Amino acid sequence: MARPIIKWVGGKRQLLEELLENLPKKYNRYFEPFIGGGALFFEIEPTGGVINDFNEELINVYQVVKDHPYELIEDLKKHKNERDYYYQIRALDRSPEFHKLSNIQKASRFIYLNKTAYNGLYRVNKKGQFNVPFGRYKNPCIVDEEAILQASKLLQKTTILCGDFENIKELVKPGDFVYLDPPYVPLSATSSFTAYTHQGFDEKMQHRLKQFCDYLDSIGAYFMLSNSYTKFVLDLYKEYTILTVQANRALNCKADGRGKINEVMVKNYKE
Ligand SMILES: C[S@@+](CC[C@H](N)C(=O)[O-])C[C@H]1O[C@@H](n2cnc3c(N)ncnc32)[C@H](O)[C@@H]1O
């Protein structure tokens, strides 16, 4: 069985049951244009699926897992879960030599940082330099050989794209299914859209995404979309079926109350 190889903020592992219950009963190809850690993708293990993300380093990991799993595993074995070593590896993207690393070395660095950084966070500064502190985990699983080999098998049957979610537009046909898990609309009215993510997924982008969903609907494709439970989202998707589900708070939320929060799942089909 395949499983995610990267921990990702906003990962959908905790909502898997609800997502699986709400898939269309039958569909042709599977598409996931905001793949992140790919919790649903790895659970479904589709044949002939298409995945995409804006994050080049993340997509490089999937490409390397697909094409060079054994070399990647070998390279991962060199890493150490030690503070000084961590900061040395973290600093690589601050040096002009960074572009000289091979794609395998870049993927290995990304996985290492993901397993040992504080809370498994991915965060870069304005210059695109990784800036999460050391996580001080006792025994992180840096080389998950089995997960990489299983993922590699699945990725052999998958098309991997890198860029904006509309990348998949030309490929989606009637009867296909698209699961969309974008950066969420911020919960609080005081936090601005643009501050929410360095990719700048602002209000305009959320509208463009809605138009994309309308396009999918118009050609007879199925779509399901996750987002936050906010008036903005409820209004935007009011002509579709909207379900409310409960999720744990995101890792990077200021946690005064630890409890659950509502999220929505929007779909353009009944069952
Ligand atoms: C909420 S996360 C997806 C989480 C994923 N479902 C999981 O289970 O781990 C959102 C993803 O959207 C990506 N992203 C941001 N802007 C994008 C865009 N314009 N087009 C495609 N992907 C984008 C981010 O890099 C991030 O990986």
Ligand 1 geometric centre to CA of 256 (Å) = 26
At 68-97, the pLDDT tens digits run 999 999 999 999 999 999 999 999 999 998
176 neighbors 66 (Cβ within 8 angstroms) = no
- Say yes or no: 36 and 72 in one domain: no
Residue 62, pLDDT above cutoff 80: yes
With respect to residue 172, please indicate whether it lies within any of the assigned structural domains: yes
Same domain, 21 and 79: no
Find the mean pLDDT for residues 26-45.
Answer: 97
Distance (Å) from CA 35 to ligand 1 centroid = 6
Q: What is the pLDDT of residue 120?
A: 86
Residue to probe by mutation, ligand 1, list 54, 58, 60, 122, most atoms within 8 Å of CB: 54
Residue 155 maps to a domain: no
58 touches 110 (CB < 8 A):
yes
Residue 78 CB partners (closer than 8 Å, separation 6+): 108
What pairing do the DSSP bridges indicate for beta strands 49-53 and 241-248? unpaired
Mutate to test the pocket of ligand 1, among 12, 53, 193, 204 (most ligand atoms within 8 A of CB): 53
80 lies in which domain range? 63-148
Please determine, for residue 130, whether its predicted confidence score (pLDDT) is greater than 60. yes
| Phi and psi, residue 185, nearest 5° | -65, 135
Q: Is the pLDDT of residue 253 over 90?
A: no
102 pLDDT more than 80: yes
Kindly report the protein residue whose alpha carbon is nearest to atom 23 of ligand 1: 54
Domain end residue (candidates: 148, 175, 191)? 148
* Amino acid at position 196, single letter: Y
Residues 22 and 109 in one domain: no
What is this structure's pTM?
Answer: 0.93
Q: Looking at residue 57, what is its pLDDT?
A: 94
Q: Which atom from ligand 1 is nearest to the alpha carbon of 197? A: 15
5 domain residue, yes or no: no
Residue 2 domain-assigned (yes or no): no
DSSP assignments along 87-144, one per residue: HHHHGGGGSGGGGGS-HHHHHHHHHHHHHHBGGG---B-TTS-B-PPB---SS-----
Q: Is residue 175 part of a domain?
A: yes
- Ligand 1: residue whose CA is nearest its atom 20: 164
Give pLDDT tens digits for 167-179.
999 999 999 999 9
Three-point CA angle 138, 144, 149, nearest 5°: 175
Distance CA 79, CA 20 (A): 36
Interval 187-217: pLDDT, tens: 775 555 544 445 568 888 999 999 999 999 9
Residues counted in the chain: 271
Domain-ending residue, one of 125, 148, 171:
148
Asked if 234 and 217 sit in the same domain, the reply is yes
Is 210 within 8 Å of 251 (Cβ atoms)?
no
In a domain, 184, yes or no: yes
- Mean pLDDT of the region 13-24: 95
Average pLDDT value for the chain: 91
Tell me the mean pLDDT in the region 113-128.
90
Provide mean pLDDT across the span 213-232. Answer: 96
Ranking 118-132, 135-149, 180-194, 199-213 by mean pLDDT, the lowest is 180-194
What atom in ligand 1 is closest to the CA of residue 39?
A: 8
In a domain, 8, yes or no: no
Count of domains forming the chain: 2
The burial class, CB within 10 Å (0-12 / 13-18 / 19+), for 27 is middle
Do 86 and 121 meet the contact criterion of CB atoms below 8 Å apart?
no
Query: Cβ < 6 Å from ligand 1: which residues?
Result: 8, 10-12, 33-34, 36-39, 53-55, 164-165, 181-183, 199, 201
- pLDDT greater at residue 119 or residue 191: 119
Where is average pLDDT lowest: 52-66, 179-193, 209-223, 232-246?
179-193
Choose one of 148, 171, 198: the last residue of a domain: 148
Is 169 in the same domain as 237? yes
Confidence at 138, pLDDT banded by 50, 70, 90: very high
Q: How far is CA 9 from CA 109, 174, 183, in A?
A: 18, 31, 10
Give Rg (Cα) of the chain. 19
Task: Please give the pLDDT value at position 196.
Answer: 41
pLDDT score for 202: 84
CATH number of domain containing 128: 1.10.1020.10
